[in-house]
């Protein structure tokens, strides 16, 4: 069945057209995108009711009206002081909030939906993986969200680490970062730092000392580490996460005369040689 057929099946026959005061319409943040205020201001600047379009609205069982598609237009009316305006609405009844979220997702697939927005939709549907990731984020004072205190925007990076290395690795990375920043939730780790720590931990698993790593990160600072990673990226022409891993290695080995970790590239060669030698021994 096509997406359009799925949508029509979900909407069913219970629908009507009506003009409703904008002030009577509500927004459910559990599945809606975060407002883009530049987009809202652009709508408000060029607002005409002729070009306003029709809102897609759900009338819930208690009679309240909820906007499925059109929250930016409602916000534009709000900032212009026009919430008493009657706006054209295509109203559906008999939908649950979960149905509304499905329709919202289908309506917006053609738009540039951010990873955070998609993650929030999955949370609304209580997807187990999304819920476990959010639980880990909450443990360190974060939630998935756009840049703001307490929000962690790099949710796509978080999910990749979770998928590749599991919840324990994600927990260990966030534990390190929040300890370095003294649990300041206004300083959420960037994708660069998250991937850098993951690269370092993967490469030197079982070899590095956590206490030494923590002290090295505190001495260097997250901001300087990010700058060093960018400089290495320009030099090595590689992805930023790997460059950040190299920067972390440099910080870790700084002023160490013993128990230094192997060089990033020579470590690969040494490991390959060791594995090849082990393979030959097994064959003999």
pLDDT digits (tens, 9 = 90+) for 258-278: 999 999 987 654 444 444 444
**Alpha-carbon gap, residue 214 to 40, rounded angstroms:** 43
Predicted pLDDT of residue 109: 65
Residues of the chain with pLDDT under 70: 1-14, 108-113, 125, 267-284
**Alpha-carbon gap, residue 207 to 262, rounded angstroms:** 10
149: Cβ contacts below 8 Å, ≥ 6 apart:
185, 186
For 112, half-sphere exposure in the C-beta direction (CA atoms, 13 angstrom radius) is 2
Tell me the CATH number for domain 3-113. Answer: 3.90.1530.10
Whole-prediction pTM value? 0.62
**In 12-114, alpha helices (H):** 37-45, 71-79, 97-108
For 38, half-sphere exposure in the C-beta direction (CA atoms, 13 angstrom radius) is 0
Predicted pLDDT of residue 112: 55
Domain-wise residue ranges, the chain: 3-113, 119-283
Predicted pLDDT of residue 122: 78
Predicted pLDDT of residue 10: 55
**Backbone φ and ψ of 171, nearest 5°:** -60, -45
Find residue 35's DSSP bridge partners.
Answer: none
CA dihedral 222, 223, 228, 231 (to 10 degrees): 140
Predicted pLDDT of residue 118: 76
**Backbone φ and ψ of 49, nearest 5°:** -70, -25
Name the residue with tokens 């026959």.
13
């Amino acid at each position: 069945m096509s997406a359009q057929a799925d949508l029509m099946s979900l909407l069913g026959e219970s629908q009507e057209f009506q003009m409703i005061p904008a002030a009577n319409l509500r927004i459910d943040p559990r599945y809606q995108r975060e407002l883009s205020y530049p987009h809202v201001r652009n709508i408000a600047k060029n607002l005409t009711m002729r070009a306003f379009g029709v809102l897609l609205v759900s009338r819930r069982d208690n009679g309240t009206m909820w906007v499925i598609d059109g929250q930016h237009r409602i916000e534009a009316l709000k900032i212009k002081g026009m919430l008493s305006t009657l706006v054209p609405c295509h109203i559906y009844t008999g939908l649950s909030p979960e149905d509304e979220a499905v329709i919202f997702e289908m309506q917006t697939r053609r738009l540039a939906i951010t990873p955070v927005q998609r993650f929030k939709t999955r949370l609304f549907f209580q997807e187990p993986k999304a819920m476990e990731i959010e639980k880990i984020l909450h443990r360190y004072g974060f939630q998935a969200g756009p840049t703001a205190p307490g929000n962690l925007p790099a949710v796509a990076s978080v999910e990749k680490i979770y998928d590749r290395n599991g919840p324990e690795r994600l927990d260990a990375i966030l534990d390190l970062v929040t300890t370095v920043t003294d649990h300041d939730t206004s300083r959420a780790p960037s994708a660069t730092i998250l991937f850098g720590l993951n690269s370092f931990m993967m490469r030197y698993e079982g070899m590095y000392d956590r206490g030494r790593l923590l002290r090295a990160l505190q001495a260097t600072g997250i901001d300087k580490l990010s700058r060093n990673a960018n400089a290495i990226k320009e030099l090595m022409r590689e992805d930023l996460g790997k460059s950040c891993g190299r920067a972390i290695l440099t910080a870790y080995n700084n002023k160490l005369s013993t128990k230094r970790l192997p060089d990033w590239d020579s470590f690969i060669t040494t490991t390959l040689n060791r594995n090849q030698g082990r393979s030959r021994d097994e064959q003999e």
